[in-house]
Amino acid sequence: MDGTAVALLGLAALFVLLLIRVPVGLSMLIAGAAGIALLRPQAVLPVIAGETFAVSSRYALTIIPLFMLMGNLAVVSGMSRELYLAANLWLGRFRGGLAAASIVASAGFSALSGSSLAAALTMGRVALPEMRRFNYDRSLAAGSVAAGGTLGILIPPSAGLVLYGILTEQSIGRLFMAGLFPGILLTLFFVLTVFLVVKLQPHKVPPGGPANPGPERQRAPAGAYWILGLVVVTLGGIYAGVFSAMEAAGVGAFLTLLLALARRSLTRDGLGEAVHSTLRASGTVFLILIGAYVFKVFLGFTEIPFAAARWVAEQGWSGAQVAAVLLVMFIVLGTFLDGFAMLVLTIPLVQPILASLGVDMIWFGVMIVVTLEMGLISPPVGLNTFVVKSVAQDVPMGAIYRGIVPFWFAMLALLVLIALVPRIATFLPEAMYGIQP
C-alpha cells in the first residue's frame, strides 16, 4: 500500500473516530499510530514516546496552563463578575446596552483566559440572568453571549493562536500581537451588531437599563481597572520587550493571584477549584498536542503534504487564490468539526503549500482563527451555543441559532476586511519584531 492510500485511510479513520465522539487527542493518537504501524512498524513506539516527551518538556507550552490559571483565578475571585458590572455601568443606559456589555466584558475576560468556552460560560452565568431580568429577547441575549465568548480564541492570550504557532513553528509573540487589533475590531463589530439589531427590531429590548445603579455596580469600575491593569502589564510587557509571551503568562498568573489575595476575594476552596480546573483543561490540551504531533509524523511519512504542495505549484495558482480556497474550506469544516481538531488535521497538510507560495503565515494564522470563531457558533457543532444552552436550559437551540446569525456575518465582514487589508493583522508584529524574512 503506497503512502497516499495510507494517508487517506488514516484521515478516514480519524474522521470516523471523531464522529463516534472519541476525544480529539486520542483520535489523532490512535489514527497516527495505526498509520505509522502500516508504513514503518518499528517506528511506532519510538515516535509515540519521543513526541510525548517533546511536547511535555517543551518550555513554550507552559504558556497554556499559566494563562488558564490566570483566567480561572479571575473567575473564582469574582473579578469576571465585576468586569461585567463595570461594562454594564458604562453601556447599560443604552438600548441593548446589557447585550453590548456582555460582549465588552467577554473581550476583557478573554484577555485574561484565552479560552472561548471559559468566556462564554463565565459571561453566560453573569449576563444571561441580568438580561432576563430586564426582559431582553432570548435569542439576542443568548446570541450576544455565545458570540462574545468567541473572542477568547482571537484576543491574546488566545489558545488557538498558541496551538497554531506550535503547529507551524511561528513566533507566539508575533501571533499575539497580530491578533490584538483584529480582536478589538471584532469586539467593536459585535457591539455595533447589537445596536443595529436593536435599531431594526426595537421590540427585542426594553427602553433602557437601570437608571440608578446600586452600590455594587458603582464599586465595579474599580475592580475592572485592576483587571485592565493586569492585561496592560502582560500584553504591554510583551510589546515593550520586557518579557516573552511565556514569561508574560507566569507574570500574569502571579499578579492575578496577588490581586485576588489582596482583595481577600480568594478562598481556599476557590484556589483549589481554580487549580483543579486548570489541570483538567491543560491535560486535555496536552493530549491534543501529543496526538497532533504523532499524526503530523504519520503524514510526514506518507509525504502527502509535499505531494500536495507540488501539485498546487503545477497548477500555477497564486498564494491569495489558495488562501481564499482554504479559508472557505475552513468555514465549511467549522460547521461540523471542533476547532482544535480542524487545526491539527489541516495545518500539517496546508503549511507546505502556503510556504511554497510565500503566504505570510502570521496573517494566515489570524484569518484561520477567525474561521475557528465562526465554527464555534455554527450549527450543528458550535460549542459555544451548547455552553450557552447549558446555562440557559429553557432557551431552545433554535432561538440561540437565530441569535447568533447577525454576529456570524460580523465575523465574515472582519474576515473579508483582513483579507483585503492584511496590515490590520501584520502592522503590530512588524512594528514590534520587524518584517519576517
Amino acid at 121: L
At residue 437, the pLDDT reads 57
Cβ pair 253, 67 in contact under 8 A: yes
Which single residue is written with the C-alpha cell 427590531? Answer: 201
H or E element in which residue 363 lies = helix 361-376
Burial class for 247, CB neighbours closer than 10 Å (0-12, 13-18, 19+): middle
CA distance 140 to 403: 5
CA distance 290 to 286: 6
Amino acid at 339: G
At residue 208, the pLDDT reads 59
H or E element in which residue 225 lies = helix 215-240
CA distance 324 to 43: 37
Burial class for 272, CB neighbours closer than 10 Å (0-12, 13-18, 19+): exposed
- The upper half-sphere exposure of residue 350, i.e. CA atoms within 13 Å in the direction of its Cβ, equals 22
Mean pLDDT for back-to-back runs of 10 residues, the chain (437 residues): 81 86 87 91 92 86 86 84 80 84 89 81 86 88 91 86 86 89 95 93 76 53 75 83 84 90 86 90 86 86 78 78 87 77 79 84 93 85 84 86 93 94 91 70
Q: Write the CB contacts of 340 (distance below 8 Å, at least 6 apart in sequence).
A: 24, 160, 163, 285, 288
In the three-class reduction of DSSP (H, G, I as helix; E, B as strand; rest coil), residue 346 is classed as helix
CA distance 69 to 250: 10
H or E element in which residue 30 lies = helix 24-39
Cβ pair 189, 410 in contact under 8 A: yes
CA distances from 161 to 64, 172, 177, 182, 215 (A): 11, 7, 10, 13, 39
CA distance 433 to 51: 30
Q: List the beta strands (DSSP E) in 21-139.
A: none
H or E element in which residue 305 lies = helix 304-315
At residue 285, the pLDDT reads 83
At residue 331, the pLDDT reads 85
What DSSP assignment string belongs to 125-171?
HHHHHHHHHTT--HHHHHHHHHHHHGGGGTSSS-HHHHHHHHHHT--
CA-based angle 350:354:360, to the nearest 5? 130
At residue 191, the pLDDT reads 95
Amino acid at 333: L
Which of 366, 396, 368, 397 lies closest to 381 in space, CA to CA? 397
pTM of this structure = 0.86
Q: Is the peptide bond before 157 cis (omega within 30 degrees of 0)?
A: yes
Query: How many beta carbons lie within 10 A of that of residue 242, not counting itself?
Result: 12
CA distance 31 to 12: 9
At residue 404, the pLDDT reads 92
At residue 214, the pLDDT reads 53
